[in-house]
A and B are shown apart, each in its own frame.
Chain A
Amino acid sequence: MTLMPIDTRRGFLGLLAACSAAAILPAAPARALTQGQATALVQQAVDEVYAVINSGRPAARMYRDFEGIFVRHADVDAIARTVLGPAARQVSAAQFAAYAQALQGFVARKYGKRFREFIGGRIEVRGARQLKSFWAVDSTAYLSGQSPMAVEWHVSDRSGRPRFFNLIIEGVNMLATEREEIRAMLARNRGDIAALTAALQQAG
């Protein structure tokens, strides 16, 4: 009988501790991921992109290489889920996988098409700061004949290893922009995910 209150109190204190830990955790940057790892991931992705741009390969081959870099260093699953919006919860795993694969090719072609603007330029990775549950890595793109551009990379290791899931170029948010675009494509295909997947394979 006398043990009960102590037990209860310990239970209560334990609960409090758990709650405050839970309250603190989301504010801490993605657990194990360090600032150095987040910055290194972005540097690696930038180096690989420039290696492809400077390779002088035919454009179609470059787009395949860009897609490989995107798959290796970006969290395609999280990106595909975010830009699909609420519809992502209504499709089967197989449908989602096919759509995500089509999306990664679409993104590689759409952004890869612009590689000529990067020839003779460089991207300097500067540092990282905490943002919500992840790291924001700041970089500056110096493209020939243009004023320097701020490029922010959002990096998380929630997928199991460090990957980026968003790019913000001079304030323009890639996830928000593509979410708007995919929403329009989905509406144009009357909400049919298979038709959207087919459209993504053609577009970009």
Chain B
Amino acid sequence: MRVAPILFCLSLAACATAPAGGVNDPYEPMNRRVHAFNKGLDATLLRPVARAARGGDDAAPQGPGAMTLVGNFGSNLALPGKVVNSVLQGRPEPAVRNTFRFFVNSTLGLGGLLDPATADFALPEIDTDFGETLHVWGVPEGAYLELPVLGPSTERDLAGKVVDLFIDPLDSVLTDEQKIAGTAARIVSKAGDRARFGSTVDSVLHESADSYAQTRLLYLQHRRFELKQEQDVIDPYAD
């Protein structure tokens, strides 16, 4: 009986959201101010650091670079949380595959530094998060948000990020030092991504006419693709 009002609210919320492919951005003025801050942060901090990191990797192109090892380590620690989400979504196959991946890389992969699961066991990471779980449960996307430092998101994905902090099974297993190492690895690997996708980020953030609108569109389109949501089809020949 208590579920009914919640379902009713959810279906109302679903009606209130923008149609497939549309952009629902009632907080645009605030989001644009955050975007200006994030863009400044990228120009003064992330871009120079990423350039330096890329220069370092170029100098030693043989074997996996330090950045790759750190990235592997961080992603490996994120796997148990993804397994929990797959289970909550009622998707046993990705849960099982990510579990095997976690055990292979934690042992043969020397604590997650290497990635033999992808290379030798055909077990690539299957990405998911609580934002996707909410989507599977029927929660609508909500308004678009640009978060300080973290970047583009939606109301649903922000709720997902918060919940993901609490449902990580490793939280009760790891020591504080190990948790800090994991968090540090994830931050460094984000900087690594900034280096790897440098020209893409530069082109969107620093070369487009309206970097806020481009970031918003790229995020929403890619996120809806990840969640297998319906996308707009443009037919220039339709009369």
Contact = CB atoms under 8 A, between A and B. Distances in A.
Interface band, chain B? 20 to 34
A68 to B, nearest CB: 22
Interface in B200-224: 200, 203, 207-210, 213-214, 217-218, 221-224
Contact of A133 (B217, B224, B231, B235): B235
A145 interface: yes
B171 interface: no
A158 to B, nearest CB: 5
Contacts of A145: 196
A171 B208 contact: no
B63 interface: no
Interface of A: 26, 30, 75, 78-79, 81-82, 110, 113-114, 117, 131-134, 145-147, 156, 158, 165-166, 168, 170-173, 175-177, 180-181, 184-185, 188, 203
28 contacts: A26-B238, A30-B237, A81-B236, A82-B236, A110-B203, A117-B199, A132-B233, A145-B196, A158-B237, A166-B234, A170-B222, A171-B221, A171-B222, A171-B224, A172-B221, A172-B222, A175-B234, A176-B21, A176-B217, A177-B217, A177-B218, A177-B221, A180-B210, A181-B214, A184-B209, A184-B210, A184-B213, A185-B209
A24 B60 CA distance: 60
Interface in B53-92: none
Contacts of B221: 171-173, 176-177
B232 interface: yes
B237 A180 contact: no
Of all A-B residue pairs in the complex, the 4 with the closest CB atoms, nearest first, are A171-B225, A184-B210, A184-B209, A78-B236
B138 interface: no
B124 interface: yes
Interface in B113-167: 124
Most buried by A among B203, B209, B224, B233: B209
Given A82-B236, A168-B231, 19 more contacts: A114-B199, A114-B200, A133-B237, A156-B237, A165-B236, A170-B222, A171-B225, A171-B226, A173-B221, A173-B232, A175-B236, A176-B221, A176-B232, A177-B218, A177-B221, A180-B214, A181-B210, A184-B208, A184-B213
B219 to A, nearest CB: 10
Contacts of A168: 231
Contacts of B232: 173, 176
